[in-house]
Structure formats: C-alpha cells, structure tokens
Structure 1
Amino acid sequence: MSHLEEDVKNVYIELGILKPSEIQMHMIAEKLDIWIFHHDEPSRTKISGLYSIVLNSNLSPEEEWQDFSHELGHILMHYCNQHRMINLFRYLQENQADNFMYHFCVPTFMLLKYNITNYSNIKEGASFIAKEFSVTKKFAKKRLNLFRRKIEQAKIDEKFQDFMTPTKTRPHSEQDKKSMTFMKF
C-alpha cells in the first residue's frame, strides 16, 4: 500500500472503523472535532480556530460523503488558506484532496477484503462498491479503475523484481542475457 493508503488505514483504525458498515460521516467528524454545516453553496472547508466543513445542502447522501472526504483531505493534509496561493499550488492541493477522497471513501485495506475477481467488468464491480461504501456509481467506477491499475502495476513490479533477481535454479535464456546488457557498466 502507498503512504496515503497506510495513512487512511491508520485514521480508520484509530477511529475504530474496520468495515464499510461502520463508516458514518457525522461520527467521523465528531471524533475528529470537525463541525459540519449544510448550506446552499459549494462544499468547502472553513478553518477559524475550529475546523468546519460546509456541505452543499443540494447533494445526495453519497455526494455529501464524497465532498466531506475531499474537504477532510484538505484539513488533514493542508495548512493554509488556498485563496492566497498561486493557481498551480491550489490545483496541486485540489488533486491531493481528490486522491485522498477516493482512498478515504473506499479504503484500500477494506477493498482488499473483497474477492473482486473481474476488474475488467467495472460496471458490475462499481455497483457493488457504490452500494457497499455509499458512494455514487460514477465515483465507484473511478475508484475501482484506480484499484485495478494499482493491482496491475503490482503484478508488473513483481515480474520485474523476479527478472532482476537472478537465481541459481533459473538459468537465463539468451534473450534474457541480451536484454540485461544495459546493466553492464
């Protein structure tokens, strides 16, 4: 797991949350001493001595949870007022908060407990993820795609590691020897 995935796991463990059915936005906010307000305006974070998250009152419960997680990412990872920074840094922080959101709404350590055998059937898997983790289907599709790419990259990394670790029991083919010539100095 990445550092972010480990950090998300640690937050959930510290909160005593180990499965999707235990995830409750208001309980998380209470335990982290964050106030939640609902207004007819875009969701945002307010930091004025106390941490507050303002959620758009026109959102579905799933969208509220997603926005809450995005704003929580700002609270946990960022320490300054975005309105005073250059656009490039604001863009960076928004991307970091989005990445946090995907991993906080559907934590990898929980996702790994499910036997999802067909990652290419995103539609079927996304419906399951959306229901299990209380997110929209569009969100679940993206999260499942992120998860699938991570699994695929881990397999590639493992093959590469196997290839780069010569063993006495596995003789190198001529093709292997030719492709390893780039390592000679």
Structure 2
Amino acid sequence: MLILLNENLCEAKQLQEFAHEVCHLLRQSGNHTVLPFPFVQLQEWQAKTFTLHFCMPTFMLEKLDMPFDKRLAVNKAAHLFNVEYSFAEERLSLWEIQMMGVMYGKSPSLL
C-alpha cells in the first residue's frame, strides 16, 4: 500500500491527511466507489475521529498545562502538535466533552 500526500500542502495539513489515510489503510476495507453511501460516510467519520486522536493523543493532552483562555489554548495546542488552528480547536472541543463525561461519571468510551 502507498499513501501519497500533496507536497503543496503545509506540513500541518500533510500530517492531518496522512493520519486520515492511515486510518483507511489500517482499519477499513472496501472500495468507496462501490460501497453504499451511508457506509462511506461512516468510514469517513471514523477516519476523521481517528485523525483527531492520532495527531493530538488524549494521553498527551492530559499532561499539558493549558491556558484558561480558549484561544490561547488552541494556539498552544496547534503549535505543540503542529496542526492547523481549526483542527486543534475541534480536538480540544472533543477533549473537553470527554473530560466532562469523566467528571460526571460517564464512561469516556461511550462518548
């Protein structure tokens, strides 16, 4: 198997694209051109979620001393993990939801 990346993209976007394609390669099968559309949508959602965790792992986020200000926290995370601002913002929002589930006694695996 081969993963081709667009060399014209910035390094952060290349990393994100690489993680997305790694998910397809390692965790999924089938040809998107012949699979039912809802199944393709599921695989894309799975790859997006995988990418968020691959590029910004929870165990690493937990060790960071993040600023209270959300914009500063997103900037810091984007810089530390070498991802785009919007990507870091989405991952931190997901992480915040996970942490709220932990605080209120819900299993993080169900989130």
Unpaired segments ≥5 residues, structure 1: 1-50, 159-185
Alignment TM-score, normalising by the size of structure 1: 0.55
- 8 Å Cα contact 2:15/2:83 also seen in 1: yes
CA distance in 1, matches of 2:6, 2:53: 21
- 8 Å Cα contact 1:70/1:97 also seen in 2: yes
Q: Percent identity?
A: 34
Greater share of residues in strand? 1
Alignment TM-score, normalising by the size of structure 2: 0.89
Q: How many Å apart are 1:57 and its aligned residue?
A: 2.6
Aligned pair partner of 1:64 in 4, 11, 14:
14
Read off the aligned partner of 1:58 and give its amino acid letter: N
Read off the aligned partner of 1:145 and give its amino acid letter: S
Q: How many Å apart are 1:117 and its aligned residue?
A: 5.8
Aligned length: 106
| Higher mean C-alpha deviation, range 75-84 or range 128-137 | 75-84
Read off the aligned partner of 2:19 and give its amino acid letter: S
Read off the aligned partner of 2:82 and give its amino acid letter: S
Unpaired segments ≥5 residues, structure 2: 107-111
CA distance in 2, matches of 1:84, 1:100: 23
- 8 Å Cα contact 2:67/2:73 also seen in 1: no
> C-alpha root-mean-square deviation of aligned residues, in Å?
1.3
| Higher mean C-alpha deviation, range 122-131 or range 97-106 | 122-131
Q: Name 2:91's counterpart in structure 1.
A: 143
CA distance in 2, matches of 1:102, 1:93: 14
Which structure 1 residue ranges, 4+ long, deviate > 4 Å from structure 2? none
